[in-house]
């Protein structure tokens, strides 16, 4: 998982980066609030961050407040690093939008535990978001397929009926056969769409994404 650190002090930043990398995080290190803000605007930005309170320019609480004001689609878990540990300051930090704070000098065990809480929270939120998306996809897919299958049934039925009463091998018979084959393909597609069981997308034009019907509809046996 990616983690952003915003810390102006080179020594502290280097130590923090080393520790977090050792724990398996992909660290994006920034030296001040502006740089951190810019990193959060990238696509696929980190969702977890350790932010120093005191930084030149944009400080930690301001960064937190600005990020919260963005009404972002992704969940952020922001940990403020503070040498101030007076109660009001902690309240100010949390009210600015931080989820958690760690007082300097911090103990590695405490840092690890708090970062892990953040990671767990983000994973849960991401899973929840995926489930909500899936729910929307399923409802939409179900509604469209149902509406589509009704006219499809009459087109398919009537063409089959025509085929039954037609002499095989005639040019019209062949044409109708082609029509029928096309309808069957659409029918297979609507059946597949209705079997969508998970949110699985694939890249489409202009960086947009579309549902991968083939993969998302594959039924995974759960045991009767």
Binding residues vs other proteins (CB under 8 A) = 142, 145-158, 160-161, 164-165, 183-184, 186-187, 191, 194-195, 219
CB of 170 to other proteins, least distance (A): 19
Q: Which two tokens stand for residue 131?
A: 């489930």
CB of 171 to other proteins, least distance (A): 23
Neighbouring C-beta atoms of residue 51, cutoff 10 Å: 26
CB of 222 to other proteins, least distance (A): 10
Q: Would you say 136 or 157 has its CB closer to other proteins? A: 157
Q: Which two tokens stand for residue 77?
A: 């878990």
CB of 198 to other proteins, least distance (A): 14
Neighbouring C-beta atoms of residue 33, cutoff 10 Å: 23
Q: Would you say 22 or 215 has its CB closer to other proteins? A: 215
Asked if residue 56 lies in contact with residue 8, where contact means CB atoms within 8 angstroms, the answer is yes
Q: Would you say 182 or 203 has its CB closer to other proteins? A: 182
- Distance (Å, rounded) from C-alpha 10 to C-alpha 173? 79
Q: Would you say 43 or 154 has its CB closer to other proteins? A: 154
Whether the bond between 105 and the residue before it is cis, its omega within 30 degrees of 0, is yes
4: three-class secondary structure by DSSP? strand
């Amino acid at each position: 998982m990616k983690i952003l650190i915003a810390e102006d002090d080179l020594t502290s930043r280097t130590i923090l980066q080393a520790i977090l990398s050792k724990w398996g995080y992909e660290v994006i290190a920034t030296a001040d609030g502006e740089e951190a803000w810019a990193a959060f605007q990238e696509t696929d930005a980190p969702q977890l961050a350790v932010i120093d309170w005191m930084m030149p320019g944009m400080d930690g609480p301001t960064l937190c407040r600005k990020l919260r004001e963005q009404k972002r689609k992704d969940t952020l878990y922001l940990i403020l690093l503070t040498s101030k540990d007076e109660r009001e300051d902690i309240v100010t930090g949390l009210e600015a939008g931080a989820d958690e704070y760690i007082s300097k000098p911090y103990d590695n065990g405490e840092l690890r535990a708090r970062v892990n809480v953040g990671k767990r929270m983000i994973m849960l939120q991401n899973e929840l978001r995926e489930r909500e998306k899936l729910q929307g996809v399923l409802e939409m897919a179900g509604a469209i397929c149902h509406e589509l299958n009704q006219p499809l049934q009459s087109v398919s039925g009537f063409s089959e009926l025509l085929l039954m009463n037609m002499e095989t091998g005639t040019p019209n018979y062949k044409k109708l056969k082609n029509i029928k084959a096309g309808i069957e393909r659409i029918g297979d597609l609507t059946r597949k769409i209705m079997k969508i069981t998970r949110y699985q997308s694939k890249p489409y034009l202009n960086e947009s994404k579309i549902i991968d019907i083939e993969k998302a509809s594959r039924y995974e046996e759960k045991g009767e």
